[in-house]
Chain A
Amino acid sequence: AQKVTQAQTEISVVEKEDVTLDCVYETRDTTYYLFWYKQPPSGELVFLIRRNSFDEQNEISGRYSWNFQKSTSSFNFTITASQVVDSAVYFCALMDSNYQLIWGAGTKLIIKP
């Protein structure tokens, strides 16, 4: 079965700390895509990154970085030197071979000043 698990329901850190959001997925497909979305308090869903199953290179975008490991079926997201504006709910999602997105339950990240 296809499944995405975000075991951390809520994480709270103090500003400037580094924080990692975990995402573990299950799929039988050999070709698949993984995504991260951000939902800030204003409510919109913002696309952050897409990764295909053949590309295990880690990605860095400013303070954001993603660690994709097929061996552990994980696609973790790290924010370095967190800021209050990073406070949001973060969703990990898996796209299956039918092009449907399977969503994790989300991790609420609270950055305290």
Chain B
Amino acid sequence: DTAVSQTPKYLVTQMGNDKSIKCEQNLGHDTMYWYKQDSKKFLKIMFSYNNKELIINETVPNRFSPKSPDKAHLNLHINSLELGDSAVYFCASSLRTGRNGYTFGSGTRLTVV
């Protein structure tokens, strides 16, 4: 029944490792997003995909690579993890216009040690 599900919920890993976060939505939305929330709770858009096509690619290190196999999935792969990558990552989805708001996943707390 979960509308936007992302896994894992918690991820603790060492510097230099590569990790992935998966996201799936069953709302029939055509647009998906990745957000990063830092320790001060500030929400920053990272990427946005519409029907598997990248439409927003903010200034994010190229160690971060989104992959959208279909419009219901948007995964985030991170290479060579750094301490500064520690944050909560949220996946979200919406219709293209987003006028009805975004539906968020429950977040993935990434801790790099």
Q: How far is the CA of A78 from the CA of B109 in the complex (A)?
A: 30
Q: Which of A47, A103, A105 contacts B103 (CB 8 A)?
A: A47
Contact B88 A99 (CB under 8 A): no
* A91 pairs with B56, CB closer than 8 A: no
Q: Which residues of A contact B76 (CB under 8 A)?
A: none
Indicate which residue in B41, B56, B97, B109 contacts A106 across the interface (CB closer than 8 Å). Answer: B41
Binary per-residue interface labels of chain B (72-113) against chain A in the complex, 1 for a CB within 8 Å, 0 otherwise: 000000000000000010101000111111111111010000
* Total contacting residues, chain B, CB less than 8 A: 23
> With an 8 A cutoff between CB atoms, is B15 at the interface?
no
Assess whether B45 is interfacial by the CB under 8 Å rule.
yes
Across the interface, which residues of A come within 8 angstroms of B27, CB to CB? none
Smallest distance from the beta carbon of B23 to chain A beta carbons, Å?
14
* A35 interfacial by beta-carbon distance below 8 Å: yes
Instruction: Compute how far the CA of A11 lies from the CA of B50 in the bound complex, rounded to whole angstroms.
Output: 38
Known: A44-B104, A44-B107, A45-B104. A91 touches B43 (CB 8 A): yes
Please report A residues at the B interface, Cβ cutoff 8 Å.
33, 35, 37, 39, 43-47, 50, 52, 89, 91, 95, 99-101, 103, 105-106, 108
Can you name 18 A-B residue pairings with CB atoms under 8 Å?
A37-B104, A43-B106, A43-B109, A44-B104, A44-B105, A44-B106, A45-B90, A45-B92, A45-B107, A47-B102, A47-B103, A95-B99, A99-B98, A100-B45, A100-B98, A103-B42, A105-B41, A106-B43
**Which residues of B are in contact with A by a Cβ distance under 8 Å?**
40-43, 45, 48, 56, 88, 90, 92, 96-107, 109
- New contact pairs (4) apart from A46-B104, A47-B102, A100-B98, CB-CB < 8 Å: A99-B98, A100-B45, A103-B43, A106-B43
